[in-house]
Each structure stands twice: as structure tokens, then as C-alpha cells.
Amino acid sequence: MSFKHKYTFEEKERILLEYQTGTHGFKELCRIYGMAEQALKDWIRLYETFGMEGLKTGSKASCYSKEVKEAAIQDYLMHTLPVKEILI
């Protein structure tokens, strides 16, 4: 089993800045920092959705109301939104 590095908020911020400014390409950043491509994709998605605050990790799980949960289920069943957007 390989070691999984936990990145600080500052490291995530720096890596995303390098990506956004074009200092390094997507695959190059993953190679330089030894990270999975999916991790960087997730960070980009979180940043685009929530801004830099989305990159902060916390131990608290989000609590959603019954109505929000039911709406998400309906969106999924009716195919009104892509699954990734429902999850956001």
C-alpha cells in the first residue's frame, strides 16, 4: 500500500495557482507533487464550485434537510441534472 500524502490548504492553494497560471500543466503537476489525477480534478471542481474555501478540509460532515435530500433524489431519478452537479 502506498503512502497517501495529506496536503495542507496552503499546498493546495499553491498547486491550483500553478495550474491556473499555466506554470505547469495538469499531468505535470500530478507528477511533480506525486498526486493522483483524480485528486487534482476534485480540487479544481471544489475551487470552481466553492472558491478557495472549498479546499479547506474539516471533520464536520454537512447536514442537509429532508427537502434537499428528496430534491437530490428526484433530480437523480428524473435525470434532470448530471450526477456530479447533484452531488455539488
Question: Mean of the per-residue pLDDT values for the chain?
Answer: 85
Q: Contact 87/40 with Cβ under 8 angstroms?
A: no
**Are residue 76 and residue 33 in the same domain, yes or no?**
no
pLDDT given for residue 1 in this prediction:
42
Cβ-contact 9, 40 below 8 angstroms: no
Q: Are 9 and 55 in contact (CB under 8 A)?
A: yes
Domain that holds residue 68: 60-88
Q: Tell whether pTM > 0.85.
A: no
Residue matched to cell numbers 499555466 = 22
What does the pLDDT average to over 49-58? 80
pLDDT of residue 53: 84
Please check whether residues 50 and 67 belong to one and the same domain: no
- In 3D space, the residue among 49, 59, 56, 42 whose CA is nearest the CA of residue 13 turns out to be 56
| Number of compact structural domains in the chain | 2
